[in-house]
Amino acid sequence: MAERRSFTREQLEAFRDAEVPDLLPGRGDPPLRLLFVGINPGLWTAATSTHFAHPGNRFYPALLRGGVIEEPIDPAAGMDDADRSRLRGRGIGITNLARRATARAAELSADELREGGEALRALVAQRRPRGVAVAGITAYRTAFALPRARAGRQPEDWGESQVWVVPNPSGLNAHETVTSLAEAYAEVARAAGVIGDAGG
pLDDT in tens, 84-141: 999 999 999 999 999 999 999 889 999 999 999 999 999 999 999 999 999 999 999 9
Give me the residues paired with residue 176 across strands: none
Q: How far apart are alpha carbons 108 and 115 in whole angstroms?
A: 11
pTM greater than 0.75 (yes/no): yes
CA 67-71-73 angle, to 5 degrees, is 110
Burial class (CB in 10 A: 0-12, 13-18, 19+), 195: buried
Instruction: Give the residue from 96, 87, 66, 95 showing the smallest Cα distance to 189.
Output: 66
What pLDDT does residue 198 have?
45
Cα within 13 Å of Cα(173), Cβ side = 18
Cβ atoms of residues 16 and 103 within 8 Å: yes
What pLDDT does residue 78 have?
81
Q: Which CATH superfamily is domain 9-191 in?
A: Uracil-DNA glycosylase-like domain (3.40.470.10)
Q: How far is CA 156 from CA 49, 113, 132, 152, in A?
A: 32, 19, 12, 12
Under-50 pLDDT residues of the chain: 1-2, 198-200
Q: How far apart are alpha carbons 87 and 72 in whole angstroms?
A: 11
